[in-house]
Structure 1
Amino acid sequence: MSGIAEDSRTGVGKGDGVIVPTFDERHRAPVLVVPRIPSFDLAERRRYVIQEEPSEVRLPLDVLLVPRPGASVLVVSLHGYTDRKKYSLPRFERLASLSTLDTHVLYVSDPTLSLAADLSLAWYVGTASDDLVSRHAALIAACAAQLGVERVVLAGSSGGGYAALALGPRIPDSFVVAFSPQTRIGNYHAPHVNRFIRRVFPQFASWQEVEREYPRRMNLCLDASTNGGPKGWYVQNNRDPFHRKNHMAPYQKTVGPGMRFFEERHREGHGPPKVERVLDWVSAAIRHPDSPPAA
C-alpha cells in the first residue's frame, strides 16, 4: 500500500499530494487522483482515486460519480463477489443498468481486492490498520452533501449488501436495499472466508480471532445490536436456504424496526435477482421508501 500503483488500463499514477488528471477508457471518465475527499464535479461523469496519508497503511478509495443535474437522490452501488479472471479492478457494478435511473449514481469499488490477485470477496472491511467502512461512509456523506440530495440509497447484493448494511447507520438520510447479503463474515463459506483472512489479516490465525478484535466490522448482528442498524429493505431469495438460515435469521433478531424483510423467488441458490427486479427495488426506494415494489 505504498501509494496508487500504475494501472496500464487507465494511466492512473501516484498523486504526490496534487490533483493528477488522466482518463479511464474502460469507464469513459476523466480520473482525478487526490490526497483527500475532493470537491466533486457535480455536472460531469468522473472517477476519483483518493489516496490519503499515510499511504503505507491506507488503501486508495476508488469511485465513479455519474451526476444527474436536478436529481434529489444519490444511489450508491456496492459490488459483491468479483471473479478476478473475468473482471479487472476497479469494479463498478451495474454501471449500464443503473445509468437508466433519474438519479445521481456513485459506484464504489472495494480496494481491499487489490491486496491479492486471487481475492474475490472482501466485504469492504479494509485491513487491521484501515477501517474502510468509516472512510467510505465519510466519502459518501461528503458526496451527498455536495450534491444537496434528500436521500442516499445504498444498494448491493451478497458482499455488496453486507457493505450497504454496514454503511447505512453511518450515513445521514440513507436507505439500504440489500439483496441476500451476508451479515456475519465468519458464517459464509469457509474457502472464501479463509482466503480473505490469509490475504487481508495475515497476522491472525482465524476469522474468530479477527472478529474478537474487530467485532462490529466482522459481524453486523453485533453492529446492529449497538446502533440499531440501518433503515431499509432486506430482500432475501427464498431459494437460498443457506443465507436464510445463517445470515437473515440472526440479523432479524438483532436489527431495529427500521429494517423490513422480504422474501421472493430468485435464482436457485445464491445470487442477485434479475436486473429488472433489482431496478424495481431500487426505483421504489428512490420514489418512496415506505412503498416496496409490487411482487
Structure 2
Amino acid sequence: MVLPTSSEADRFDFESATIRSKLFNGALDDTDIDRLWNRLDRGIDLGASAIIRDFEASGRRAIGRALPHGVRNAIAGSHPNLLHHDSVSSYHTAASRDSLHWVEAGSVAIPIFTRRTESPILIVTFHGVLRRSKYVLPRFEWVNSLRSLGHNVLSFGDPTMDLDLGLEGGWWLGTHSLDLIPQLAVLVSRTMEELGAKRLVIAGSSMGGFGALQLGAYFPEATVVAFNPQTDVRRYHARRVTRVAMGSVFGADADPVPARVSVLERYDTTAIVPARIRYVTNIGDQHHLDEHYEPFASGLEDRQVKSLVRTTRDDGPRHEKIPAEAFISTLTEEIARFGRS
C-alpha cells in the first residue's frame, strides 16, 4: 500500500467529495471514473473504490474492471428499509423498526443502522478493529445482542475504513478535511430529537470504546460504557494499523490533529466530559492498562473530573473482545441506574 502525502490526502479528499456529489446527482462521467482508477493504479484509494462500487450499483453502466477484494457493500443494497441522505443536515430516522442509512459526508458516506422502539433510551454503538478478510463492510456491532433490551439503537459503521482496503481500524478519524466525531454527534442529536429519547448510552469495545469516549465529548448528560478502549490512537500497540489509519487521513508526512486521536484532547477542545464513564478493563491486558487506562485516568484526575467509574475483569493475558453477555449485562446495569437517579 502507498500512503499519501498530506498535500495528496487533501487534494484527493476534495476530489472524492466532488465526485461523490456528482454521483449522488447522476452527473458522474467517464473522466471521473478514469481519475479514480488512476489513483487506484498508484496504490492510493482514499475512497475511490467505494465510489466505483456505488457507481456500479447505481445500474448506470458496467465499469469493465474488477475492483479488488475488500470493498464495502454498495449503498444501493437489498435492505428493505434503506435510506440515502445527501448530507448530515438532511438525515432523518425512518418510521420502520429497523433501517439502514447512508449519509453523504464529503468524500465518504457514513453507514448507520437504527432500531426504533417506544423506549425513552437511545443506545449508540461503535464497532472495533476487524479483519477485512472476515467481515464485509459496513459493520454494525452488537445490534443483534441489544435486541433483547428493547431500547432504541443507533449503530455506526466507520467510513474511515473506505480510505484503504487493507485498513483494519479507522478509529473514526474521518478524512483529511472531515473531523468525523462532531458529525456523528449531529446525527445522534437528530435521532434523539426525532425519537423523543431522554437518555443516551454510548458504548463500544476497543476501537469502538475509543469512538464512544470521543462522542461523549458532545453529550454532557450521556453515560459512556467503554470496554478496554484505546484512549490515544498514537499509543496503540498495533502500529502497522495506526500508521495506515493516520497516514491515510492526515498524510504520511503530517502529525495527526490531537483532538482526533486523543480522548483527553477532545475533552479539552469541547470543554465537555460525559456525566458518567464506565470504563471496563481486562487486568490481563497490560498494554491497555499502562498505555491507555492509566494516562486517561490520571488526565481526568488532573482536570478534576470525577465521572470515571472503573470495573475490572479477567479475560486472559491478551487484548480480547468483550463477550456479548458481559457487554449486555454491563449496559443493563448502567440503564438500571436511570431509575434510581
Q: TM-score, normalised by structure 1?
A: 0.84
In the alignment, which of 273, 280, 304 is matched to residue 229 of structure 1?
A: 273
Q: What is the correspondence of 1:122-161 to structure 2 with a 5 Å cutoff? A: 122-161=170-209
The answer to which of 78-87 and 281-290 deviates more is 281-290
Cα drift, residue 13 of structure 1? 8.2
Q: How does 1:242-281 map to 2 (within 5 A)?
A: 242-255=287-300, 256-281=305-330
Structure 2 distance, partners of 1:162, 1:221, is 11
Separation of aligned partners in 2, 1:12 and 1:44: 26
Please say which of residues 92-101 and 145-154 is displaced more in the overlay.
Answer: 92-101
Code of the aligned partner of 2:246: I
Q: What letter corresponds to residue 83 of structure 2 in structure 1?
A: L
Offset of residue 79 of structure 1: 0.5
Q: For 1:286 and 1:240, locate their aligned partners in 2 and report how far apart those are by CA, in whole Å.
A: 27
Q: Is the 8 A contact 2:172 2:180 kept in 1?
A: yes
Q: Based on CA coordinates, which of the two structures has the bigger radius of gyration?
A: 2
Partner SS for 2:191: helix
Distance 1:29 1:152, change over 3 A: farther
Decide whether aligned partners of structure 1 residues 278 and 121 sit closer, same or farther in structure 2, where only a CA change above 3 A counts.
same
Relative distance call for 1:283 and 1:7 in structure 2 (3 A) is farther
* Structure 2: runs of 5+ lacking an equivalent: 1-15, 21-49, 61-74
Rounded to whole Å, the distance in 1 between the matches of 2:233 and 2:58 is 32
Q: Which of 206, 215, 239 is 2:258 aligned to?
A: 215
Q: Say which structure, 1 or 2, has more relative contact order (CA 8 Å, 6+ apart).
A: 2
Tell me the equivalent position of 2:103: 50
- Provide structure 1 residue ranges, at least 5 long, that are not aligned to the other structure: 15-21
Q: CA deviation at 1:228?
A: 5.2
Runs of 4+ deviating beyond 3 Å: 10-14, 22-25
Q: Is the 8 A contact 1:71 1:103 kept in 2?
A: yes
Aligned: 1:238 with 2:303? no
Amino acid at match of 1:178: A
State the Cα distance separating 1:248 from its structure 2 match: 0.2
Cα distance in structure 2, aligned partners of 1:110 and 1:89: 9
- Decide which structure has greater helix share: 2
| Aligned with residue 336 of structure 2, among 284, 287, 290 | 287
* Aligned residues of 1:159 and 1:181 also touching (Cα < 8 A): yes
Q: CA deviation at 1:276?
A: 0.5
Amino acid across the alignment from 1:111: P
1:41 aligns with 2:89: no
Letter in 2 for 1:233: R
- RMSD value over aligned CA atoms? 2.4
List per-residue Cα deviations over 1:193-240 (Å, max 9, x = no partner): 1121232222x426xx21xxx111111123335525322201111110
Q: How does 1:56-75 map to 2 (within 5 A)?
A: 58-68=107-117, 70-75=118-123
What secondary structure sits across from 1:32 in the alignment? strand
More strand by share: 1
Measured in 1, the distance between the counterparts of 2:307 and 2:292 equals 18
How many residues align structurally? 270
Describe the shift of the 1:23–1:286 C-alpha distance in structure 2 as closer, same or farther (beyond 3 A): farther
Residue pairs, 1:1-16, within 5 angstroms: 1=16, 2-3=19-20, 5=51, 7=53, 11=57
Question: 179-188 or 31-40: which moved more?
Answer: 31-40
Q: CA deviation at 1:11?
A: 4.7
The alignment partner of 1:86 has SS state of: coil
Alignment partners' CA distance in 2, 1:152 and 1:78? 14
In the TM superposition, residue 164 of structure 1 has moved relative to its aligned partner by 0.4
Number of the residue aligned with 1:30:
81
Tell me how far apart the structure 2 counterparts of residues 225 and 145 of structure 1 sit (CA, whole Å): 26
| Residue 166 of structure 1: aligned partner | 214
Q: Is the 8 A contact 1:23 1:30 kept in 2?
A: no
Does residue 1:186 correspond to 2:234, yes or no?
yes
Whole-angstrom distance in 2 between the partners of 1:35 and 1:51? 5
Give the distance between the partners of 1:84 and 1:279, measured in 2 at CA.
Answer: 26
Residue 139 of structure 2 aligns with an amino acid whose one-letter code is R
For 2:172, what is the secondary structure of its paired residue?
A: coil
